[in-house]
Chain A
Amino acid sequence: MNPVRSVALAVGLVLAVLVVVFATREAGQDRMTTHLVGAVAPPVAGSTLDGDHWDLDDQRGRWVLVNFFSTTCVPCVEEHPELVAFAGEHDGSDPAVLEVRVVSVAFDDRPAAISRFFADHGGGWPVLPADTGRIVVDWGVVAVPESYLVTPSGYVAAKVVGGVVREDLDDILSRAVAAFTGKGAGQ
């Protein structure tokens, strides 16, 4: 056989073997899609719009929805009525409905704008308006809005990328309650 052809054949053969070897080896975990879900929730703590201190650790024993948003992001504005409805439904006033605390973490926003946003669009839950950069990095938030459901024991049960819809949140909550406690979403 022509030596050039021999070399080309050998190189091609080695390449083919390598493709097979590398493609079938265990790949690195795709953490972009599974990030945090099932892991202990990173810290969320700081001063709220009202000047109170809020800490996720103080919410142990309760379901919490951690919502990352910005008043300048259109999907965040669009999802807000859904959050208001979800928070109202799960505010603990109806013993038949599971209570869920909602907290919003603003990213790269101004407290004055956030105050106006909540005054205009409703929502009475705690909002961390400023100095949230470390929280955003700890949660690996890439682009707002993102929301995370945290179990009473402090684990992240689910992650929603993009704007939330109340029915979807209810469905996620039901499944998370079933998965983490073995009960239904009702009390």
Chain B
Amino acid sequence: MNSAGRGGAAGRGAVIWLLVFTVALGSLVVSEVADRTPRTNADRVQALAGDFACPVCQGQSLGESDVPIARTIRSTIRTMVDQGRTDAEVRTMLVERFGEDIDYTPTGRGLTGMVWVLPVLAAAAAAAGLGLAITRWRSGAHPEVDDQRTERPSTAKVVVGVTVVAVLAGVLVARAAGDRSAGDAITGDIRLSTRTLLAEAGMAAPEEADEIYTQVLELQPSNVEALAYRGWLRWRTDDRAAALIDLDDAVAMDDAYADVRVFRASVRHAEGDHAGAAVDLAVLDGLDAPPIVGDLLAASRLRQRVAGELAADGELLAALELLDSGLEAKKRTGGGSDAALLAERGWLLAATRVPELVERGLENLDEAVAAGPADPHALAYRAVVASTAASAAERVADVAADLEAFATLTDPPADLVATLVSMGLLDG
């Protein structure tokens, strides 16, 4: 090949390599500077949690760790993000509370500033070294290099090089461009409001409802309603561990949200943590809860069941305080009859078999029957206690009246019927 031909081929080779280099460099630059703004608040929370170290873990970020302090901090981040606080504000809060050590993004101050400078220096040194090597090579510093080896690379090498760079560029561009889930429209969907989604979840089957609550939490991580109801749903579908995490997170997020207090009290009671359930119910009594919450409590007799368990554990005082707290709340809000709570109070006092307390219990049962003449528990409890108390002889008329009223009830609770039958007060 003559020198002019070799020169032209070398020029084309240089152009190809320049193109390859440009594509590679361009892809790298694009992938790094492309707008990767998190699309939802959940993305922001995840991104922020990934930027900070868990303060008590080895090598795990807040986003990766599941220790209690990491979960607590994540919950705080969620709340701040939903409140519209900027990433900088979240960073400042975390650094102020837990120190700069947990911040994975090094500052430009102190020796840590070197991490920003060293890569640049290394690149500069490498470039300088490469430049020197090329200069020496061209100036004949390596005469042993054969002329053949200075010729342009073979076509195969060029193809392999271009393929590698193209694949690399494709991967980087795909990374920068984000992703789209199956079924997503190519131009994106009009985002449903969380309120609409929550309404849908309320009517959906459990599995679908769980997905919808999760979707709401993706859009708005501090949506306490979605978190509380997802926890309650998971509890009802036997995913106990996940349910407790959701409910605890929901309370941490908004300790004045009434619904989650009822849910968690119910869960704690079922788990045997009756004192914990009592705390939730006591807090609930101080809240301005919607009437439906009171109806739910009355229908489930949760407070009475928790009080009963506390009394059985020897915590009669705590049991009575829990019932009194409910009575106070009813008095304050004017919601519902006191009969059920008074009946339980009387029943627990009578169960002590201490004569003074039994008499006090009977007084409560009298109040209960007066407040709710058709309340099955008030009627049955008073009939049982009055027929066995020291003052039984004076209470014969009350017992008869209670049993007569009880007999007229449609579908009375089976446990009460069984109790009355076992005591010979009711025919089987």
Asked whether A31 is an interface residue with its Cβ less than 8 Å from the other chain, the reply is: yes
B114 surroundings in chain A (CB, below 8 A):
18-19, 22
**Which of A28, A138, A143: most chain B Cβ within 10 A?**
A28
**Which of A23, A31, A130, A142: most chain B Cβ within 10 A?**
A130
A22 surroundings in chain B (CB, below 8 A):
110-111, 113-114, 117
CA separation between A134 and B71, bound complex, in Å?
11
User: Quick one: closest A residue to B125, CB to CB?
Assistant: A11
Query: How close is B274's CB to chain A, nearest CB, in angstroms?
Result: 7
Asked whether B64 is an interface residue with its Cβ less than 8 Å from the other chain, the reply is: no
Asked whether B56 is an interface residue with its Cβ less than 8 Å from the other chain, the reply is: yes
B56 surroundings in chain A (CB, below 8 A):
142-143
- A31, B99: Cβ atoms under 8 Å? yes
Asked whether A140 is an interface residue with its Cβ less than 8 Å from the other chain, the reply is: yes
User: Quick one: closest B residue to A42, CB to CB?
Assistant: B97
A15 surroundings in chain B (CB, below 8 A):
121
CA separation between A107 and B72, bound complex, in Å?
10
User: Quick one: closest B residue to A143, CB to CB?
Assistant: B56
- B132, A137: Cβ atoms under 8 Å? no
B:54-100 near A, CB below 8 Å: 55-56, 68-69, 71-73, 75-76, 95-100
User: Quick one: closest B residue to A33, CB to CB?
Assistant: B99
Query: How close is B56's CB to chain A, nearest CB, in angstroms?
Result: 5
* Interface size of A as a range: 35 or more
A25 surroundings in chain B (CB, below 8 A):
109-110, 113
Q: CB within 8 A of A35: which of B97, B113, B282?
A: B97
Q: Mark A102-135, 1 if CB is under 8 A from B, else 0.
A: 0000011011100100000000000001110110
- B275, A112: Cβ atoms under 8 Å? yes
B112 surroundings in chain A (CB, below 8 A):
28
**Which of A14, A22, A27, A112: most chain B Cβ within 10 A?**
A112
Q: Mark A1-21, 1 if CB is under 8 A from B, else 0.
A: 001100100010011001100
Query: How close is A53's CB to chain B, nearest CB, in angstroms?
Result: 8
Asked whether B321 is an interface residue with its Cβ less than 8 Å from the other chain, the reply is: yes
CA separation between A115 and B276, bound complex, in Å?
10
Asked whether B218 is an interface residue with its Cβ less than 8 Å from the other chain, the reply is: no
**Which of A15, A31, A32, A131: most chain B Cβ within 10 A?**
A131
A7 surroundings in chain B (CB, below 8 A):
125, 128-129, 132
CA separation between A92 and B323, bound complex, in Å?
34
User: Known: A25-B110, A137-B72. Contact between A3 and B99, CB under 8 A?
Assistant: no
CA separation between A162 and B109, bound complex, in Å?
31
- B99, A30: Cβ atoms under 8 Å? yes
B73 surroundings in chain A (CB, below 8 A):
137
- A112, B97: Cβ atoms under 8 Å? no
Q: Mark B124-137, 1 if CB is under 8 A from A, else 0.
A: 11001100100100
B95 surroundings in chain A (CB, below 8 A):
31
- B129, A4: Cβ atoms under 8 Å? yes
- A31, B96: Cβ atoms under 8 Å? yes
CA separation between A48 and B425, bound complex, in Å?
44
- B107, A28: Cβ atoms under 8 Å? yes
Asked whether A26 is an interface residue with its Cβ less than 8 Å from the other chain, the reply is: yes
A11 surroundings in chain B (CB, below 8 A):
121, 124-125, 128
CA separation between A131 and B117, bound complex, in Å?
44
B:249-302 near A, CB below 8 Å: 251-252, 255, 272-276, 278-280, 282-283, 286
A174 surroundings in chain B (CB, below 8 A):
none
Q: CB within 8 A of B76: which of A31, A129, A137, A143?
A: A137
CA separation between A55 and B256, bound complex, in Å?
16
User: Known: A22-B111, A25-B113, A140-B97. Contact between A112 and B274, CB under 8 A?
Assistant: yes
CA separation between A136 and B279, bound complex, in Å?
19
CA separation between A131 and B113, bound complex, in Å?
39
A3 surroundings in chain B (CB, below 8 A):
132, 135
Q: CB within 8 A of A131: which of B76, B98, B255, B275?
A: B255
B273 surroundings in chain A (CB, below 8 A):
110-112
- B132, A4: Cβ atoms under 8 Å? yes
**Which of B96, B272, B279: most chain A Cβ within 10 A?**
B279
A/B interface sample: 18 pairs, CB < 8 A:
A11-B121, A22-B111, A22-B113, A22-B114, A25-B109, A26-B110, A28-B100, A30-B100, A31-B98, A47-B283, A108-B69, A110-B276, A130-B251, A130-B276, A134-B72, A136-B69, A141-B69, A142-B69
Chain B interfacial positions (CB closer than 8 Å to A): 55-56, 68-69, 71-73, 75-76, 95-101, 107, 109-114, 117, 121, 124-125, 128-129, 132, 135, 251-252, 255, 272-276, 278-280, 282-283, 286, 321, 325
Chain A interfacial positions (CB closer than 8 Å to B): 3-4, 7, 11, 14-15, 18-19, 22-23, 25-32, 35, 46-47, 49, 51, 53, 107-108, 110-112, 115, 129-131, 133-134, 136-143
A30-B100, A51-B282 given. 13 additional CB < 8 A pairs? A11-B121, A22-B117, A28-B110, A30-B99, A35-B98, A47-B282, A115-B275, A133-B252, A136-B69, A137-B72, A137-B76, A141-B69, A142-B98
